[in-house]
């Protein structure tokens, strides 16, 4: 029976499903009922399975198995469906499911990124150590919602209230660059898919008002959208080197390591150093700005290639070479 490509209807589903169709797959979107019309409107799904709430997702196991579906994960799946439930489902899953364990916790991420030898923002283990601007973050992939900035322990104590779980990270002043990679197991090669920067509310709006009005505003980092970005070409060797090191380190911590799409979230300082503040071990929504292709993917593949399509191409080549087992985790 032919394989189908299935994903949850949000985040990068349009890209994933369109890419899968371009590579000749049958596609399935699993949508909350009030979102389904979007996927119907764009015609990217051959079948739409409607659910009332994301918590119903694990009950679709048999339906997906019957359709010979391969599930493509993204941040909305991770954000809305219980990790244990995803890990326990028998539905074939593109990627190393075990890497979710490493990605879902900032401390484990740090171990991984340090092992890769990357440059990371300092972490203040105790608020009394805060001696420069710092960003206070909370657990879970909630897109930066609620984060705040502080410059002293006093300010931290005032703002944190009763919250018990947080991370205090050095705030790197520079510009954010999100690097989209794709590591192909089938071709044994790391590819650069593109770069984006994020559009976050309200931090990206604060520069639009005069400083006297900015002073008392609470800065937040709620993700709303993304912009495409091209990087200075002389930075590309460093970009590839960082990606390679992350893959190498991942093989040591969680064999067979990371593969498929992943993203390093960085801030680049004026001395052109990349500070990596997070890793996403799957497709990031920033790749949506290249739903057709990025310039890098176009020159690499000689035809338009989105990250969504690249996933489907990898699956197709794995099927053709009878190597599907190597890319399903």
User: Interacting stretch for ligand AMP, rule CB under 6 A, among 53-61, 92-100, 220-228, 242-250?
Assistant: 220-228
If one asks whether residue 307 binds ligand AMP (CB under 6 A), the answer comes out as: no
Question: What is d(CA 33, CA 53) in angstroms, rounded to the nearest whole number?
Answer: 8
If one asks whether residue 60 binds ligand AMP (CB under 6 A), the answer comes out as: no
* Alpha-helical runs (H) found in 3-60: 13-22, 36-42
If one asks whether residue 226 binds ligand AMP (CB under 6 A), the answer comes out as: yes
Positions 163 through 192 that interact with ligand AMP (CB under 6 A) = 169-172, 176
Give the residue with the Cβ less far from ligand AMP, 80 or 101: 80
Give the residue with the Cβ less far from ligand AMP, 223 or 319: 223
Of the candidate residues 22, 23, 155, 265, the single one contacting ligand AMP (CB under 6 A) = 265
Contact predicate 286/307, CB 8 Å: no
Specify the residue for token string 């310039």.
Answer: 295
Of the candidate residues 22, 56, 83, 121, the single one contacting ligand AMP (CB under 6 A) = 121
30: which 2 tokens? Answer: 């699993």
Count CA atoms closer than 13 A to 184's CA, side-chain side: 19
Give the residue with the Cβ less far from ligand AMP, 49 or 327: 49
Beta-sheet strands, E only, within 75-220? 123-124, 134-137, 148-150, 167-170, 175-184, 189-202
Question: What is d(CA 95, CA 70) in angstroms, rounded to the nearest whole number?
Answer: 10
Question: What is d(CA 286, CA 283) in angstroms, rounded to the nearest whole number?
Answer: 8
- Which residues lie across from 74 on neighbouring strands? 283
Max CA pair span of the chain: 65
If one asks whether residue 118 binds ligand AMP (CB under 6 A), the answer comes out as: no
Give the residue with the Cβ less far from ligand AMP, 69 or 285: 285
If one asks whether residue 15 binds ligand AMP (CB under 6 A), the answer comes out as: no
User: Left (φ > 0), alpha (ψ -120 to 50) or beta: where does 157 sit?
Assistant: alpha
Of the candidate residues 277, 282, 296, 306, the single one contacting ligand AMP (CB under 6 A) = 277
| Interface ranges with ligand AMP (CB under 6 A) | 10-11, 75-76, 79, 121, 135, 137, 141-144, 147, 169-172, 176, 198, 200, 221, 223, 225-226, 265, 267, 277-278, 285-286
């Amino acid at each position: 029976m032919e394989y189908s490509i299935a994903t949850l209807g949000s985040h990068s589903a349009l890209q994933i499903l369109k890419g899968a169709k371009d590579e000749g797959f049958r596609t399935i979107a699993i949508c909350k009922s009030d979102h389904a019309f979007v996927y119907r409107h764009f015609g990217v799904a051959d079948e739409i399975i409607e659910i009332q709430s994301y918590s119903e997702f694990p009950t679709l196991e048999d339906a997906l198995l019957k359709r010979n579906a391969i599930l493509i994960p993204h941040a909305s799946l991770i954000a809305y469906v219980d990790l244990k439930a995803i890990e326990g489902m028998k539905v074939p899953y593109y990627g190393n499911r075990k890497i979710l364990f490493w990605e879902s916790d900032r401390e484990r991420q740090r171990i991984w990124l340090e092992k890769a030898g990357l440059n990371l923002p300092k972490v203040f283990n105790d608020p009394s150590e805060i001696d420069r601007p710092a960003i206070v973050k909370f657990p879970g992939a909630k897109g930066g919602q609620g984060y705040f900035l502080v410059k002293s322990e006093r300010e931290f104590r005032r703002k944190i209230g009763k919250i018990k779980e947080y991370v205090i990270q050095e705030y790197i002043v520079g510009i954010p660059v999100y690097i989209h990679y794709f590591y192909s197991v089938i071709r044994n090669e790391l590819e650069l898919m593109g770069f984006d920067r994020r559009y976050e509310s309200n931090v990206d709006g604060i520069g639009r008002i005069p400083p006297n009005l900015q002073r008392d505003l609470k800065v937040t980092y709620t993700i709303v959208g993304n912009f495409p970005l091209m990087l200075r070409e002389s930075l590309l060797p460093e970009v590839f080197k960082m990606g390679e090191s992350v893959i190498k380190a991942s093989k040591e911590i969680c064999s067979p390591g990371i593969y498929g799409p992943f993203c390093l979230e960085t801030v680049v300082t004026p001395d052109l150093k990349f500070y990596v503040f997070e890793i996403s071990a799957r497709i990031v929504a920033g790749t949506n700005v290249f739903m057709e292709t990025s310039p890098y993917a176009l020159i690499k593949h000689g035809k338009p290639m989105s990250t969504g399509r690249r996933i489907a191409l990898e699956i197709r080549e794995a099927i053709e070479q009878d190597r599907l087992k190597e890319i399903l985790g």
